[in-house]
Chain A
Amino acid sequence: QSALTQPPSVSGSPGQSVTISCTGTSSDVGSYHRVSWYQQPPGTAPKLMIYDVSSRPSGVPDRFSGSKSGNTASLTISGLQAEDEADYYCSSYTSTNTLVFGGGTQLTVL
């Protein structure tokens, strides 16, 4: 199972919005609603930010939103804050009953 494809880096200024894409195939992202997004600051474990494409766990700010079109899922962070600077990873359920992660996107808040 190949990793999902994410841009290596994105950046934005405080208050702006950024969108991170996550491209898979018809065997994962394209066929299932089971897409998740994780935030990982350096030296820490990943934290679940979005599940089921667009649902937010309790405690995650509504500045974080998710969507999907075809084989590509997206994470949008609006009203960018300095504390949002971290690596972001997408994940999807697959047709082989496994999970696959993306390669990660480093978000820099300018």
Chain B
Amino acid sequence: EVQLVESGGGLVQPGGSLRLSCAASGFTFSSYWMHWVRQAPGKGPVWVSRIDRDGSSTDYADSVKGRFTISRNNAKNTLYLQMNSLRAEDTAVYYCARESQSGDYKYDALDIWGQGTTVTVSS
């Protein structure tokens, strides 16, 4: 079964750090671009970051650029999001998601999502 399982969320004070993990199974993890998307309570999803197949190329939303770092370990089939200098507005459910592709052609659409992990930034 194709599956993504996030972990690492929790309560953190403003200015603090947290590292999220996303364990992939059921597919060849190293063949796919991967994303992080967050969703605040009662709001729509917001794209956070993207990483290419071997981790050499990354992109970020302006709201997290310079504070968050996406990375991956293909040997461990795991995606990460290091979050530093956290703010109250970073409070959300964080999802990892797989980008849909056909061969080497990718669609900028997210076809597999994890169940999400909750990050709460509060004093």
Contacts and interface: CB of A to CB of B under 8 A. Distances in A.
Contact of B110 (A1, A36, A102): A36
Interface residues of A, number: 25
Interface residues of B, number: 23
A57 B45 contact: no
A48 B47 contact: no
Nearest to A37: B109
B interface: dominant SS = strand
29 contacts: A1-B61, A3-B44, A32-B108, A34-B108, A36-B107, A36-B108, A38-B45, A45-B95, A45-B113, A45-B116, A46-B45, A46-B95, A47-B113, A48-B110, A48-B111, A51-B100, A52-B109, A57-B111, A91-B47, A91-B110, A93-B108, A98-B59, A98-B60, A99-B35, A99-B47, A99-B50, A100-B47, A101-B44, A101-B47
Interface of A: 1, 3, 32, 34, 36, 38, 45-48, 51-52, 57, 87, 89, 91, 93, 97-104
